[in-house]
Amino acid sequence: MLAFDSVCRRFKDGTVAVKDVSLNIPQGEFCVLLGPSGAGKSTLMNMINGVVEPTSGKVHFDGEPITRSNLRQFQRHVGMIHQQLHLIPRLSVLHNVLSGLLPDKSLLRSLLKSFPKEDQLKAFELLNEVGLEQKHLMRRASELSGGQQQRVAIARAFVSSPKVVLADEPVASLDPAMSRSVLNSLKAAAKHHGATVVCTLHQLDYALEFADRIVALRAGEVFFDGSPAELDNQTQRAIYAFTQTEGQEKSELALEEVAA
Ligand SMILES: Nc1ncnc2c1ncn2[C@@H]1O[C@H](COP(=O)(O)OP(=O)(O)OP(=O)(O)O)[C@@H](O)[C@H]1O
Ligand SMILES: [Mg+2]
């Protein structure tokens, strides 16, 4: 359903964020991208919604290469969940979810009142599905806790019936219990709606718990690609042994350990 075909991304300042990555992500898979800060996770993910264009290689969506001219047709099938919640603080929970149906946010004010009943029902159902109680529906988003806001963001991402949901560090600002609960809601919603999820996480524990598949990047390259069960302790350590500040040496030491 998603295929990265030898994609690279070099930024203007010379930074090579993604180096020759090839991956196939089947429909319905919950794929977690792991890797230290700067490994290229967000850059790779952002190639799926066109925020980042590969400098070489191609991304295929349902077998078709994404190009500048057909990008919009794919964007309609992609839902987004961010670490910064990006809800509209003054709007109600319900209206925030419905805003996921609007391609152009500048139209928001004029259109919000005219959503058909079926859209409103869908938003209700989604909020219920992600565990947000009915009593919160008409509250302003800014009055909700971080965990509640992230549930609204999940409902918003699914309201347009996307084929793919991209979640960039969706639980980075939540405590462990809330993180698990939010990831459970995300996974359940994805399975229920048959959506493919690409999710970046910094917490290895959650990746092991929730992912169908883990892809670990290091310095822009795929370092590990497999199921959580296949990710052994040494490989886990080696993923994080490389950071930009600590440099290559430490990473090489860890690699030797894996090889030994
Ligand atoms: N627009 C840009 N211009 C220049 N360099 C960029 C740009 N976006 C990202 N980079 C660089 O590309 C590399 C990969 O960044 P990216 O944001 O993909 O990492 P990440 O794995 O998502 O990190 P984090 O876990 O901190 O979110 C970094 O070195 C980053 O500084
Ligand atoms: Mg990132």
Q: Is residue 198 over pLDDT 90?
A: yes
User: Which is more confidently placed, 82 or 211?
Assistant: 211
68: in domain = yes
Return the closest-CA partner of residue 233 out of 214, 211, 201, 258: 258
What would the mean pLDDT of 47-75 be, rounded to a whole number?
93
List the residue whose alpha carbon is closest to atom 10 of ligand 1: 17
Handedness of CA 49, 130, 29, 203 (dihedral sign): positive
Count how many domains the chain has.
1
Return the closest-CA partner of residue 120 out of 165, 149, 155: 155
129: in domain = no
Q: Is residue 173 over pLDDT 90?
A: no
pLDDT value for 87: 85
Q: Is residue 109 over pLDDT 70?
A: no
Return the bridge partners of 217, or none.
222
229: in domain = yes
Q: Is residue 250 over pLDDT 60?
A: no
User: Which is more confidently placed, 150 or 260?
Assistant: 150
pLDDT value for 260: 59
247: in domain = yes
How open is the CA angle 51-56-58, to the nearest 5 degrees? 70
Q: Is residue 106 over pLDDT 70?
A: no
Model confidence at 246, pLDDT cuts 50, 70, 90, reads very low
Return the closest-CA partner of residue 225 out of 215, 238, 217, 233: 215
Please answer whether residues 112 and 94 qualify as being in contact, where contact means their C-beta atoms are separated by less than 8 angstroms.
Answer: no
236: in domain = yes
34: in domain = yes
Range with the lowest mean pLDDT among 37-41, 152-156, 209-213, 247-251? 247-251
What whole-number distance in Å separates Cα of residue 218 and Cα of residue 40?
Answer: 8
Starting at the earlier edge strand, list the strands of the sheet with 196-200.
78-81, 164-168, 196-200, 30-34, 213-218, 221-226
Query: Which atom of ligand 1 has the smallest separation from the CA of 244?
Result: 29
CATH code of the domain containing 234: 3.40.50.300
pLDDT value for 89: 85
pLDDT value for 190: 96
What whole-number distance in Å separates Cα of residue 226 and Cα of residue 156?
Answer: 30
What would the mean pLDDT of 116-137 be, rounded to a whole number?
90
Residue 76: φ, ψ to 5°: -60, -25
pLDDT value for 101: 85
Q: Is residue 133 over pLDDT 60?
A: yes
Q: Is residue 68 over pLDDT 70?
A: yes
Structure tokens at 16: 């090579």
Q: Is residue 26 over pLDDT 90?
A: yes
Please answer whether residues 203 and 180 qualify as being in contact, where contact means their C-beta atoms are separated by less than 8 angstroms.
Answer: no
**What's the gap in Å between 17 CA and the centre of ligand 1?**
6
Domain hosting residue 56, numbered range? 1-77+165-173+196-260
Mutate to test the pocket of ligand 1, among 8, 21, 43, 45 (most ligand atoms within 8 A of CB): 43
Residue 175: φ, ψ to 5°: -75, 165
107: in domain = no
Mutate to test the pocket of ligand 1, among 8, 9, 15 (most ligand atoms within 8 A of CB): 15
Q: Which residues have C-beta atoms less than 6 Å from ligand 1?
A: 11, 13, 15, 17, 35, 37-43
Query: Which atom of ligand 1 has the smallest separation from the CA of 44?
Result: 18
Q: Is residue 247 over pLDDT 50?
A: no
98: in domain = no
The whole-model pTM stands at 0.89
What whole-number distance in Å separates Cα of residue 18 and Cα of residue 40?
Answer: 6
pLDDT value for 83: 76
Average pLDDT of the chain to the nearest whole number: 89
pLDDT value for 17: 97
**What's the gap in Å between 172 CA and the centre of ligand 2?**
11
What would the mean pLDDT of 47-67 be, rounded to a whole number?
95
Task: Provide the Cα torsion 78, 81, 83, 85; round to 10°.
Answer: 130
List the residue whose alpha carbon is closest to atom 12 of ligand 1: 17
Please answer whether residues 36 and 240 qualify as being in contact, where contact means their C-beta atoms are separated by less than 8 angstroms.
Answer: yes
